[in-house]
Chain A
Amino acid sequence: MIKVKAKKDIVVFSLSGVLNESKHPDISFRDLENKKIELSGKDIVSWNTDFVVMLYNLLKRVPKENITYTDLPEGMKQLLNLAFQTPFKECENKSKKESFLERLGGYGIRFAQSVKRGCIFIRRCLHSWNRQLIGKAVYRKKDFWLVLSDCGPKAILIVSLISFMVGLILAFVGALQLKTFGAQIYVASLVTIGMTRIMGAIMTGIIMAGRTGASYAASIGTMQVNEELDALQTMGIPKTDFLVLPRMNALLLSMPILVLLSDIMGILGGCFVCVLCLEVPLSEYIKYTINSFDMTNFLVGVFHGVMFSLIIALCGCYFGIHCGRNADSVGTATTKAVVYAIVWMIIMTGFITLACEMVGI
């Protein structure tokens, strides 16, 4: 039970009996402002923290020196003393509402800063690349082999499966139209040209962005959280040498081979549909595949793969290195690495297609 007696400049809270309620007595902070508070608890039988929580929240704005305790149980007194040790201040409301123009300006500034950071990062990577050419880059060969095994042999299965399925889908979609003209044999040409020119590279790029680019961002981001990147910097080892070069080299080496694998698996997927579903003889499919295979298309596909490998490695490493220092930031860095890699791959495809169109290949 809690009884409140307000006198001229002192408010006495008489506490007694079993104190386990968390309901405020009928008194507000204004009634307590600039007054001394006396907490008297001669007849307290028992109390719990719910009651102390209520008492604290009622008195938290009263300065500590204005509160006196008389006959309070030792535990309650200590708990209140502990809670009142630091003067109360209202939580700062940091989520200031911004106007539309402020937000727009903010986006603009952040965009400009990120473009600048990106350009600086690419310049540093080019310097590292130059140092590598003259044999002065600092990185461990062991790291290169580890990364290579991760983005090469370990990616074969997933790249094969997805490319086979893409070849299969391409053949089915093509067959739906071509069958109406009795030209289902041209499915072989469609799949071969489609896979070798662009689809093989794009599918490999997307798989590798999701698999390897994400892994780069996450592993480098975790290094940032663990202050390993700071350690590299203080040792005078360029981050782009130590972290970017092995990853970029591994991807540059493995991507063209994976693109070739993807082309083959896609053509096999098409073959599967043609031979089993469209009743095209296997020999005919092989013949049309060979006829429609063009080395230029294949090389354009491989070139896409090389460019994609640069994009994936740069995005993964960039977002990893520029990751924040908490768990959330690693997740954000990973997401951004994948999304940006895919977006830049599509933009790059547009540029390459345009360039090929202009030079007539």
Chain B
Amino acid sequence: MNKDPIIRVKNLDIGYDRKTIMKNLSFEVQKGDIFIVMGGSGCGKSTLLRTLIGLIPAQNGQIYIQGIEMGRATAAQKLEIMKHSGILYQSGALFSSMTLAENVALPLQQYTNYSQNKIRDIVAFKLALVGLAGFGGYYPSEISGGMRKRAGLARALALDPEIVYFDEPSAGLDPVSSKNLDDLILEINKSLGTTIIVVTHELPSLFAIGKNSIFLDKTIQTISAKGNPKELLKNPPNEQVYEFLTRGASYEKRT
């Protein structure tokens, strides 16, 4: 295994205010991996994601991203790390007052010195990458939910990030759109070598794209399984993981 993971989490406690949701989380994400954070509803998947991207502070423990400990990083270091990270939120989180092209152009205008022409070219390319060529002039309210997610992904990819975080990418999408988004995630991972972290509980999605995963167990408030999701299904380490990966099949009656 690579000794220098792109993300390393050590003894992390997460939660809101004084309430701890998950304790003692430790895991590593290797460069170029597609890493799934799975678990039942309300187990703290999204809280873990929000902690990783720095939206809420860690209660305890350390997060190292590209070798830098986030708790001790200076504001400039944090900004640099965030510039190399793209995030696709559940709803796409596009700015409703801006067109898709303006949404994608925003991080480029903010963090680069590119000319307007170059930004226009990059925006056209990123929108084409997610299958939205020619939709740059549309407002988020004028397109479907699936297209909004893809446009959100184009914005997340604007700065060629090394890590892209996905919060429930399949939520609210029909099975075909969901599969298309999964294929897109795989293509982006393959062609750009981007490390991808996906928070999801959609089984078809996590089996289709997941190379590695952790399972957050609500009952014991920590990670109860690690590994490739398909491997976990073949050799379930415990009842909760088996039930989760089989949509509630009985652990005792497994073959």
Contact = CB atoms under 8 A, between A and B. Distances in A.
Interface of A: 22, 49, 52-54, 56-57, 60, 74-76, 78-79, 82-94, 324-329
A78 B188 CA distance: 9
A94 B100 CA distance: 14
Contacts of B140: 326
Interface residues of B, number: 27
Q: What 3 A-B pairs come out closest when comparing CB atoms?
A: A89-B134, A326-B96, A78-B191
B69 to A, nearest CB: 29
A56 B96 contact: no
B193 A325 contact: no
Contacts of B188: 82
A352 B78 CA distance: 61
B141 A22 contact: no
B204 interface: no
Contacts, number: 76
B131 A85 contact: yes
B190 A78 contact: yes
Interface of B: 96-97, 101, 118, 121-122, 124-125, 128-129, 131-137, 140-141, 160, 184, 187-188, 190-193
A211 B132 CA distance: 43
A52 B193 contact: no
A88 B192 contact: no
A49 B193 CA distance: 12
B190 A88 contact: no
A82 to B, nearest CB: 5
A83 B193 contact: no
Contact of A82 (B97, B135, B160, B187): B187
Nearest to A78: B191
Given A56-B124, A78-B190, A91-B136, A83 B129 contact: yes
A86 B132 contact: yes
B137 A54 contact: no
B131 A53 contact: no
Contact of B141 (A60, A92, A326): A326
